[in-house]
Amino acid sequence: MATSAPARSDSPALVEPPFASIPLLDLKAQYAGIRGELTDAVTRVFESQHFILGPEVEALEREIAEYVGVEFAIGCASGSDALLLAQMAIGIESGDEIITSTFTFGATAGSIARLKARPVFVDIRPDTFNIDERQLEAAITPRTRAIMPVHLFGLSADMDSILEIAHKHHVPVIEDAAQAIGARWKGEGVGSLGAFGCFSFFPSKNLGGAGDGGMITTNDPQLAQRLRILRAHGARKKYQYELLGINSRIDALQAAILRVKLGYLESWTAGRRRNAENYRALFAEYHLTELLTLPFSPETSFHVYNQYSIRAPHRDELQRYLSDRGISTEVYYPSPLHVEPAFAYLGYRAGDFPNAEVTCREVLSLPIYAELTMDQQRVIVTTIANFYARLAHQ
C-alpha cells in the first residue's frame, strides 16, 4: 500500500473546505422524517399499558421473520443476548469450543466465554474483513460445538464454504448478524442460512431502536420454543421453570419503534448503498483508489454498509486531521480480540492472526448514513485528499 497521494495533473484542484461538522451518524436527521409515526407508536403502547412482550413484540417478530426469510423470530434484550441465548438453546457448556473471528465486537467472543466455553479464533480475509473460510477447518477439534461467523460491517461472510464445513463436521452455524440486517448471500437473507441468526437493534444499527434490543431467527420450531422459554427465566408458564434461563425480553416500546423503522429500512439501505457508490466515484476522481483500500463486496453478496470502512495509511494522523475539520470517524476495531486482556487466558499472542492485526492498524469508518448528502461526501473526500497531498510534500 502506498503511503501518500500520487501527483496527478488531472486531479481536481484541492481547496481546503470550510469547517464541516459532519457526524459519523446523524440519528436526528433520521428521526425528523418519522417523528409523527414514532410518537403515535409510543403513544399506542402507553395507551395499552402493556410494556413487556405482548402484541407489539409478537407483531415485530412476525415482521422480522418475514423480512429475513425464516419461520420464526424471537425478540430479546440485546444483540449480545441473542448470541448468548442461541448458544444456551443448543446446550453449550464449559469446555466446549466455538470457532469465530478475532476481528469483531467483544460480545461475539464474550457470549461464548460467558458460558465457560472457549472461543477459538480464526484470522480474517483482508478484502472482506470477514472470517477466512479457508482457515476454518484447521481450527476444528473434537470439542468444536458450533461455528459463529460474523457478517461484519453489513457484508455476509462466505456462507457456502462455512455451511459446507459445518455440515461435514456436524456442527451448527450461529450467524452473528448484529450489523447486517437486510444483507444477503446469493439472494438469501443473512440470519436465514445457519441454525440461528442473531441481530442487534442498538441505536447505531441500520435498524436501530431507542435503546437496546435484539432478535434471534431460526427455522427450527423446537429451537424457537426453547428460545422463548430461555428468554423468560426458563418458564413456559408463570412460575413454572423448565430450564435455567435468563431475563432477556424485548419491551413493547422498542418493538413499536422498530416496527415503524422497519418500514423504512429498505429505502435507508438503498441510501447507504448509493453513498458507498458515491464514495467510490469520488475517491477515483481524486485518484485515491490505489492509496486507500475501499470496502469490497463480492458479486455473491448484498452489502448493507452498517459501516463504510476503508483501510488507510497513517490512519491515526488522518483521523485527527478529519476531526480537526469537523468530520467524525471511528475505528472499528482498534485491536483484535485475541490480544485483548479479557481473552489473555486463551493463550493467543500478537502475530497469531496477522491479517486482523494489520487491519486494526489501518481501518477507519467514514459517515455512510442514508441522509448524508453528496456535498458532504465531497467535503470528506476532499479533506482526505488534502491530508495525503500535504503528507506527500512534507
| Longest CA pairwise span in the chain (Å) | 75
**Average pLDDT rounded to a whole number, residues 152-161:** 98
Task: Please list, in sequence order, all residues whose beta carbon lies within 8 angstroms of the beta carbon of residue 21, skipping any fewer than 6 positions away.
Answer: 326
Please give the Cα distance from 111 to 207 (Å, whole number).
22
Query: Is 11 a residue whose pLDDT tops 70?
Result: no
Enter the pTM of the model.
0.95
Residue 324: count other Cβ atoms within 10 Å of its Cβ.
10
In this predicted structure, what is the pLDDT of residue 393?
A: 83
Q: Where are the alpha helices (DSSP H) in 311-392?
A: 315-324, 354-362, 374-392
Domains and CATH numbers, the chain: 34-262 (3.40.640.10), 264-392 (3.90.1150.10)
Please give the Cα distance from 227 to 240 (Å, whole number).
16
In this predicted structure, what is the pLDDT of residue 180?
A: 98
Read off the pLDDT of residues 163-213 as tens digits, 9 standing for 90 and up.
Answer: 999 999 999 999 999 999 999 999 999 999 999 999 999 999 999 999 999
In angstroms, the Cα distances linking 79 to 85, 211, 222 are 10, 12, 21
Residue type for position 50: H
**Average pLDDT rounded to a whole number, residues 239-254:** 95
Query: Is 4 a residue whose pLDDT tops 80?
Result: no
**Average pLDDT rounded to a whole number, residues 219-236:** 97
pLDDT band at 20 (very low <50, low <70, confident <90, very high): confident
* Number of helices followed by number of strands (H, E) in the chain: 11, 14
DSSP class of residue 139 equals G
In this predicted structure, what is the pLDDT of residue 17?
A: 81
Of the listed ranges 17-26, 107-116, 159-168, 374-383, the least confidently predicted one is 17-26
Residue 139: count other Cβ atoms within 10 Å of its Cβ.
17
Q: What are phi and psi of 83, to 5 degrees?
A: -65, -45
In this predicted structure, what is the pLDDT of residue 392?
A: 87
Quick check: helix, strand or coil at residue 390? Answer: helix
In this predicted structure, what is the pLDDT of residue 140?
A: 98
Cell numbers describing residue 138: 484447521
Quick check: helix, strand or coil at residue 23? Answer: coil
Query: Is 288 a residue whose pLDDT tops 50?
Result: yes
Q: Which of 100, 128, 76 is nearest to 307 (CA)?
A: 128
The count of residues in the chain is: 394
**Average pLDDT rounded to a whole number, residues 331-335:** 98
In this predicted structure, what is the pLDDT of residue 16?
A: 79
Query: Is 124 a residue whose pLDDT tops 90?
Result: yes
In this predicted structure, what is the pLDDT of residue 100?
A: 98
In this predicted structure, what is the pLDDT of residue 7?
A: 45
Cell numbers describing residue 130: 470477514
For the chain, how big is the Rg over CA atoms in Å?
A: 22
Read off the pLDDT of residues 361-378 as tens digits, 9 standing for 90 and up.
Answer: 999 999 999 999 999 999
Please give the Cα distance from 193 to 195 (Å, whole number).
7
**Average pLDDT rounded to a whole number, residues 214-233:** 98
In this predicted structure, what is the pLDDT of residue 5?
A: 54
Quick check: helix, strand or coil at residue 204? Answer: coil
